Structure 1
Amino acid sequence: MAFLVAGTLRVASQMADTWESLGRKGKYSMQGPRVALLLSSPEVSASTVTVLEGVFRTLGFDSCQRREASVQGFQWELVRFREQLDAHGGPVGCAFVALVAPSQQLRQPQQLVQELSRCGALYGCPKVFLLLSSSPGAASKPRAFLTSLGELCGHCPHWSLLQLLTEVFCRTAEESSGAASCLVLRSSLRGALCLGDVEPWGPEPEPSPSAQYDLSGAQAALLLAVIQGRPGAQHDVEALRGLCQALGFETTLKMDPLAQAFQEEMAKFREQLDARRVPVSCALVALMAHGGPQGQLLGADGQEVQPEVLVQELSRCGALVGRPKIFLLQACRGGHRDAGMGPTALPWFWRWLRAPPATPSQADVIQIYADVQGSFPRGPIPGSSDQADILMVYAAAEGCVAYRDEKGSDFIQTLVEVLRADPRRDLLELMTEVNRQVCELEVLGPDCDERRKACLEIRSSLRRRLCLHS
């Protein structure tokens, strides 16, 4: 009994410290051991595995397991890994899982991500997934990515993982012999994740001017909002339009567009940008509407439009080649209402320990795709030119409800507040802070009296830091 109580108190202590650090500094405290798992299919070359193991050591992951299995066996290996962590008897600071397989075989990695998210030892802790293609034609790019990541972690230990990845994305693109190249990350982190073996509250690095997008040219925004049948949506429109104007965006607003009008307005927006005589530095598109069961947007006529089609339309804009394109999507992506995850114990016990509230079940995960095809269902292929320099922020995780009331949505209202407070910070870092605040909120679902949680999803192929206000 004494051992059980001691273990429970340790978990509660780590939870409280993590919660305090995220609230106080917006950074993960990283207390507890760092564990890594390398899953590779038999076709993977030994040199790729060697480079990857070196990256793990550089990042401070002393405990690294390597297992070889078919792609179909990855799920079982992750089950074993999760059970091993839960049986450890103590909290884990961070988990890093690398999945290496031939191109096009890792098409649906979300089941693997969800498996590790069920790990009790990793509750509230960051989980990093690295998905690498081992196809012969793409072998050099993952190795270049890994080498750059290892070097930067050694030279810039105070940098957050998002800062490191942005720099790595830039370097990898520059080393691709002029070919359009991009790597993609998918994040629900709630704070800065510093993997360097340093004290986490060190000074922030000063980025060089060349590491940032040049926003000296014109900036344009397109807001497409369905207000009809969406109480509170008008407040989101007003708040977002005011923010865009404060940041210097030339803003176009279209209310209650039909499904066909979504596509027409996006095409018109692209044509106007291409027709401009002055350079365009950045484009922002906000899509606000009801969502379908598979993540579709619903126009004012109730008809569906795929958001990926709108993204591809703007990606064809010649004036925006190499320029950042921001998409904000305030819409449901399914009908699941997340009750969140919390410690498995009696509620009064955790209240007595003053444990933090439940965390959204999809939070604290970052996935990094290096030349892995099919990682974005129904969307552009990572590695292709039309996927580069894009930041997409969803108000809800895949399959989940996006919440809104008569005052507006949690996502848009929090985003406007955070960006107005500190517009000079890197936009990826600001979006992570928005996610932290949204994850702390609790809402009452219309279907019951139980509290529900929400979590953003951030997808980025940005290759430089993006600061909207110089």
Structure 2
Amino acid sequence: MAFLVAGTLQVASQVADAQESLGRKGKYSVKDPRVALALCSPEVSASTAALLEGVFQTLGFESCQRQEASVQGFRGELTRFQEQLDAHGGSVGCAFVALVARPWQLRQSQQLVRELSRCKALWGRPKVFLLLSSAPGAVPEPGAFLASLGELCGRRPHWSLLQLLTEVFSRTAEESAGAAYCPVLRSSLRGALCLGNVEPWGPEPEPGPSAQYDLSGARAALLLAVTQGRLGAQHDVEALGGLCQALGFETTLRTDPTAQTFQEEMAQFRKRLDAHRGPVSCALVALMAHGGPQGQLLGADGQERQLEVLVQELSHCGALRGRPKIFLLQACRGGHRDAGVGPAALPWFRRWLRAPPATPSQADVLHVCTDVQGRSSRGPTPRSPNQADVLMVYAAAEGCVAYRDKKGSDFIQTLVEVLRADPKADLLELMTEVSWGVVGVAWGEGLDSAFFSAPVFCSPPSHPFAEGGSPLPSET
């Protein structure tokens, strides 16, 4: 019994620590020691490695390790890093891992992200992964990218890391005009992450990067939702449709599309936008259906359609070149459930005893790929200029199920609530609030946070756009 009580108190303490780590106003507190690790393949120059260590120190990381290893040895080095943190026994404010190698050697980096997510010392703490290319002629050159990031952080200590990266990406895009440069950012952060030497709840930060999308033209939305066999899906459709109307989007709704209809509706949507006489400022596409581990969406007929094919369709829209294109995906991405998921039918005290040690393992991760020329892709070529200005927001992390109940999904319902409350705020900042809201609702069941990726933003969206809930039916 003593062991049970001790374990229960430890769980409660860890959950409280995770809540406290976000501080006030949904911002991470990084007052505890920050740790950094650089894993470099043998061909990485000494000057790049030294510059990386200097940037870590500029960003306030007290512990900075650098290991040279083959790419095959990265996972072993990361395991040792994780074991060191857990053996230390103290709290960690933030972990920053930089992987420097040839871009095609980093295709399986998601496995390394999962490896560090097992670290108990980092439960509820932000984990940043930065992938830098060591290929000759890489855009951006690793040293230039790191110098720009460090310099900007020193001048804008109140900016969140997402704001800083947006500005760095914008500068890089300007300097490499015509190079079809397309970085990728993936995030499940649940709050703003400020690495400057200021308290996260200090004075209000300065406005974000000055470059913003011009949203004075027409706005269009396409909602494709399978409602058959998806309890509560109609509530998501109604909530999202009302939000689009409130934000001035001309909205097209199609329910229970077949797999072929998904493709046809996307093609018709693109044609309508290209035929529009005036400028088009923004497009929003919401796809709500059952899903699969390879990114498939299942139509009402049970047939599959690959998500990448639908994204490619809109990427060919001439009216949206240089304009933000937002995809919301309310669907499963696999059959895994994140750490700590238990039956919702259990009494509350048994659910509490079986609760996850802290937050779900897929939360609190920022994954930045600065050069993705060689990464694998089942869809469009990553460096195609048509892939710029795309924001994809998922209801679950890669490989995990998404949830909904009779009232709808936590993801869609939380997203609508957040955007209605502050419709003029920065999009990426609002998405972190959505992640925080989803985890806040789902903490007792151990559900995953929302997850978003931006296969580029040369300037930050100035307008918001972006399945959690009681685990009744999942989307698989």
- The amino acid that maps onto 2:135 is S
Contact 2:15 2:358 survives alignment (8 Å): no
Aligned partners of 2:36 and 2:448: how far apart in 1? 28
TM-score relative to the length of structure 2: 0.89
Judge conservation of contact 1:18–1:28 (CA < 8 Å) in 2.
no
Q: Tell me the CA shift for residue 179 of structure 1.
A: 2.8
Counterpart AA for 1:155: R
Partner residue in 2 for 1:3:
none
**Post-superposition shift, 1:321?**
1.1
Q: Distance in 2 between matches of 1:21 and 1:86?
A: 17
In the aligned structure 2, how far is the partner of 1:390 from the partner of 1:149?
Answer: 22
The equivalent residue for 1:455 is 449
1:386-422 deviation line (CA, Å, top 9, x unaligned): 3211110100111111111111111111100110011
Determine the C-alpha separation between the residues in 2 that align with 1:9 and 1:230.
Answer: 38
How many matched pairs? 452
Tell me what 1:152 maps to: 152
SS at structure 2 position matched to 1:235: helix
Unaligned runs of 5+ in 2: 1-7, 343-347, 466-476
Partner of 1:246: 246
Selected match of 1:466 from 451, 461, 464: 461
* Equivalent residue letter for 2:300: A
1:9 CA displacement: 9.5
Contact 1:159 1:204 in 2 (8 A): no
CA contact (8 A) 1:17 1:29 kept: no
Which residue does the alignment assign to 2:89? 89
Aligned to 1:43: 43
Report 1:93-108 matches (<5 A). Answer: 93-108=93-108
Question: Which SS does the other structure have where 1:198 is aligned?
Answer: coil
Distance 1:356 1:73, change over 3 A: closer
CA deviation string 1:255-309 (max 9, x = no partner): 1111011111111111111111211111000000111243310001100001111
* Residue 391 of structure 1: aligned partner: 391
The structure-2 alpha-carbon separation of the partners of 1:142 and 1:282, relative to structure 1 and needing over 3 Å to count, comes to farther
Matches within 5 A, 1:249-264: 249-264=249-264
Q: 1:164 to 1:252 in 2, by over 3 A?
A: same
Shift of residue 102 of structure 1? 1.2
2:308 is aligned to: 308
What SS is found at the alignment partner of 2:43? coil
CA contact (8 A) 1:340 1:361 kept: no
SS of 1:400 mapped into structure 2: coil
Q: Which residue of 2 aligns with 1:331?
A: 331
| Contact persistence 1:130–1:368 (CA under 8 A) | yes
Written as runs of structure 1 = structure 2, the 5 A alignment for 1:6-17 is 16-17=16-17
Q: SS of 1:128's equivalent?
A: strand
Code of the aligned partner of 1:454: D
> SS at the partner of 1:52?
helix
1:162-311 mapped onto 2 (5 Å cutoff): 162-207=162-207, 210-311=210-311
Paired residue type of 1:147: A
Using the TM superposition, give the Cα deviation of residue 51 of structure 1 relative to its aligned residue in structure 2, in angstroms.
2.4
Task: Give the distance between the partners of 2:142 and 2:177, measured in 1 at CA.
Answer: 15
TM-score where L is the length of structure 1? 0.90
User: Offset at 1:227?
Assistant: 1.0
SS of match in other structure, 2:363: coil
Q: Over aligned residue pairs, what C-alpha RMSD do you find? A: 2.8
For the Cα contact (< 8 Å) 2:42–2:70, is it kept in 1? yes
Find out whether 1:440 has 2:440 as its counterpart.
Answer: yes
Please list every run of at least 4 consecutive aligned residues from structure 1 whose deviation after the TM superposition is greater than 6 angstroms.
8-14
User: Which residue of structure 2 aligns with residue 430 of structure 1?
Assistant: 430
Q: Deviations over 1:361-388 (max 9, x none)?
A: 1001100001134556424454431321
Contact 1:426 1:466 in 2 (8 A): yes
- Following TM superposition, by how much is the alpha carbon of 1:206 offset from its aligned partner in structure 2, in angstroms? 3.5
Provide the residue aligned with 1:128 in structure 2. 128
Q: What letter corresponds to residue 456 of structure 1 in structure 2?
A: A
CA contact (8 A) 2:189 2:363 kept: yes
Residue in 1 aligned with 2:471? none
Partner of 2:468: none
Unaligned runs of 5+ in 1: 1-7, 445-450
Q: Percent identity among equivalent residues?
A: 76
1:363 is aligned to 2:358: no
Cα deviation digits, residues 42-79 of structure 1 (max 9, x gap): 11122322322221111011211111000000011001
Q: Deviations over 1:15-62 (max 9, x none)?
A: 635413537410111132111000000111223223222211110112
Q: Which amino acid aligns with 2:287?
A: L
Q: Which residue of 2 is the match for residue 5 of structure 1?
A: none
* Letter aligned with residue 391 of structure 2: L
Written as runs of structure 1 = structure 2, the 5 A alignment for 1:397-436 is 397-436=397-436
TM superposition shift of 1:232: 0.9
